[in-house]
Amino acid sequence: MDFNDSSEEAAFRAEARAWLEKTLGPPASRATMKTEGDVIKASKAYQAKKAAAGYVGLTWRKDVGGRELPPIFQVIFSQEEQKFQAPVSPFGIGLGMCIPTVIAFHSADKIKRYVGPALRGEEIWCQLFSEPSAGSDVAGLKTKAVRDGDDWIVNGQKVWTSGAHYCDYGILLVRTNPEKEKHKGLTMFVVNMKAPGVEVRPIHQMSGGSNFNEVYFTDVRISDSERLGEVGNGWNVALVTLMNERLAVGGSAGPEYGEILELARNTPSPSGKGSLLQDQAFREKLAGWYVSAEGYTLGKYRTMTALSKGQTPGPENSIGKLLNANRMQDLANAAIEGEDHFGIISDPAVAPLQGAFHNAYMWAPGLRIAGGTDEILRNIIAERVLGLPQDVRVDKGVAYKDLPTGR
Ligand SMILES: Cc1cc2nc3c(=O)[nH]c(=O)nc-3n(C[C@H](O)[C@H](O)[C@H](O)COP(=O)(O)OP(=O)(O)OC[C@H]3O[C@@H](n4cnc5c(N)ncnc54)[C@H](O)[C@@H]3O)c2cc1C
């Protein structure tokens, strides 16, 4: 394992940091973004500047607007961007998952049509996979597309579609052949989110936000020229998207060991003796988070070393999200409990770290589900990392139409 930047990587990091400082200024300048509209506007403006400066599509082919740099350069840029709290969230799904799938499977003229506007932040994309009865088992989805001349007609419902209410395009996984096994009768399309028959209904969350949606499709026409890959090959196309998703959602976005240590130092112990830091039970928890965070960091260095050598990280990457999402929830819960009755105050003007522990507490359950639930990740780790026997799969070799789905 090599923990240090090579001289070329160090030079790129310094250059990126200088550009971020010049372009974004200190992170505090973005604390004024109150509404989702503000965030989208600021994110689009930032993305346009980033594209003009050549910091987009770092690892992508040059003919699609990329720079063909090794993946480690994307890791370095993202690390620096995170330090400046760059407004990038609306583009995570599009540029992290949808557009790489478009590049891998769409026609040359469509790649030209979609990639540039996405890289410049002019168009935002969403991922339309999950359905009310198809999440972990997404290949069991019901939304269907039926061929009609040069078009397909789509009917059905998606759910948990992040950002659908402000997106321009999406990648849509549908069933085109119910006679085949569930994984083999699927096809992927690009869908215009403003097309007639597409109805987006926001879902209100316990955090007060409305990040994701139900999306209904009623006789939506999609041209066959918007198909990604072969008819019936949608599962393999989706695997490319999902592989990118696991890498994209691995990191923790909440307060970490350093922040809770500081809180414990400055918060009275419930016993009334000294600070929370002197509380034996709390010290044990602190030690656990420290070990988990350090373990994750060392695992990440291993991934970075693999990327640096041009290798593709494997299923062991599922460990990162599993550890981080659980640590985030546990740590935020302990921070709020540790503050005793003050813990109910989430107002950023008063709460520690501008309410970051409360935000993490609300966000962590979602993170434990998005991009693969804890149980699914444990199955992956058990089967593909540790080589344990496979989970029982009762639907192998059965046509989708013969599965007992309760229809
Ligand atoms: C914040 C967030 C953002 C999301 N964004 C999107 C998006 O943009 N686009 C999109 O398409 N989807 C999105 N999703 C949906 C997400 O992919 C699904 O919620 C996820 O795959 C789980 O599916 P489910 O909710 O249907 O739960 P289910 O699959 O019904 O799972 C229910 C429970 O059963 C367990 N379980 C299921 N199968 C197994 C098994 N084989 N072994 C053991 N336990 C099992 C699960 O772990 C879980 O605890 C998002 C979800 C969240 C939380």
Q: Please say whether the beta carbons of 169 and 125 come within 8 A.
A: yes
User: Fold match between 126-241 and 250-369?
Assistant: no
Cα gap 377→322, rounded to integer Å: 7
Asked whether residue 99 carries a pLDDT value surpassing 60, the answer given is yes
Q: Is the Cβ atom of 136 under 6 angstroms away from ligand 1? A: yes
Cβ neighbors of 195 (< 8 A, separation 6 or more) are 220, 221, 222
Task: Check residue 393 and give its pLDDT.
Answer: 85
- Tracing tokens 């072969």 back to the chain, one arrives at 230
Q: Is the Cβ atom of 207 under 6 angstroms away from ligand 1? A: no
In this prediction the pTM is 0.90
Confidence class for position 39, pLDDT limits 50, 70, 90 = very high
For a pocket test of ligand 1, which of 98, 125, 136 has the largest count of ligand atoms closer than 8 A to its C-beta?
136
Q: What's the CATH fold of domain 250-369?
A: Butyryl-CoA Dehydrogenase, subunit A; domain 3 (1.20.140)
Q: Convert 276-303 to b/e letters by CB count within 10 Å (16 or more is b).
A: bbebeebeebbeebeebbeebeebbeeb
What's the gap in Å between 168 CA and the centre of ligand 1? Answer: 24
Phi, psi of 147 (to 5 degrees): -70, 135
94-98, 314-318, 381-385: least confident range: 314-318
* Span 290-343, pLDDT tens digits: 999 998 888 877 877 776 676 766 777 788 889 999 999 999 999 999 888 888
Task: Check residue 350 and give its pLDDT.
Answer: 87
Q: Where are the domains of the chain?
A: 7-87, 126-241, 250-369
Asked whether residue 16 carries a pLDDT value surpassing 60, the answer given is yes
Q: Is the Cβ atom of 391 under 6 angstroms away from ligand 1? A: yes
Q: What's the CATH fold of domain 126-241?
A: Butyryl-CoA Dehydrogenase, subunit A; domain 2 (2.40.110)
Confidence class for position 2, pLDDT limits 50, 70, 90 = low
Confidence class for position 191, pLDDT limits 50, 70, 90 = very high
Task: Check residue 256 and give its pLDDT.
Answer: 86
